[in-house]
Amino acid sequence: MAIAICPGSFDPATNGHLDIIQRSAQVFDEVIVAVGHNPGKKHLFTVEERITLLKQVIKEAHLHNVRVDHFSGLQVEFARAHKAQVIVKGLRAISDFEYEFQMALTNKHLAPEIETVFMMTANEYSFLSSSMVKEIVLFGGDPEGLVPPAVLGPLRKKTKAGVEDE
């Protein structure tokens, strides 16, 4: 059984994230969406809120072989703990590739048994990032069409309150 993890901050989850998760679910027997915890970073949503939102997104997308979990620390240790053979990383642009390539080589050094698979995002989401969505809503823009419906309401509500420290 091929198990893959899709790690990320998902703050907030975007339609680009959902695209990669859906396509991963078609390729692998089980996909674990792994919400990363970075205590040194400011987030709109807490880890718990991101997990709750992603579970709703997964449910609405009818992805029965996908589950959501969280981690702090190394992706490869999370992958090992969940017996995953693959880390799936979405790429939008060359700049993503440079960083993710370096990360993949580091992960390969740390865990030679775990492969990294790069998946290009769909064209319509190639510009999209969580940071871009946060900036749009923090300056009063409308994120509709950029995030899954389950994220839209909580995102609008959360951004009225501002960015929180976890």
CATH code of the domain covering residue 109: 3.40.50.620
Of the candidates 55, 67, 70, 92, the residue annotated as catalytic is: 92
Catalytic, out of 50, 89, 130, 158: 130
How many structural domains compose the chain? Answer: 1
Question: Is 92 labeled as catalytic in the residue annotation?
Answer: yes
Catalytic residue among 17, 89, 134, 158: 17
> Which residues form the domain of 119?
3-165
Q: What is the pLDDT of residues 119-148, one digit of tens each?
A: 999 999 999 999 999 999 888 899 999 999
- Residue 17 annotated in active site: yes
Residue 83 CB burial class (10 angstroms; 0-12, 13-18, ≥19): exposed
Q: Is 130 an active-site residue?
A: yes
Is 24 a known active-site residue? no
Identify the band that residue 41 occupies on the pLDDT scale cut at 50, 70 and 90.
Answer: confident
**What global pTM score does this model have?**
0.92
34 and 58 in contact (C-beta within 8 Å)?
Answer: no
CB atoms within 10 A of CB 72: 12
Tell me the per-residue pLDDT of 57-114, one tens digit each, with 9 for 90 and over: 999 999 999 999 999 999 999 999 999 999 999 998 887 899 999 999 999 999 999 9
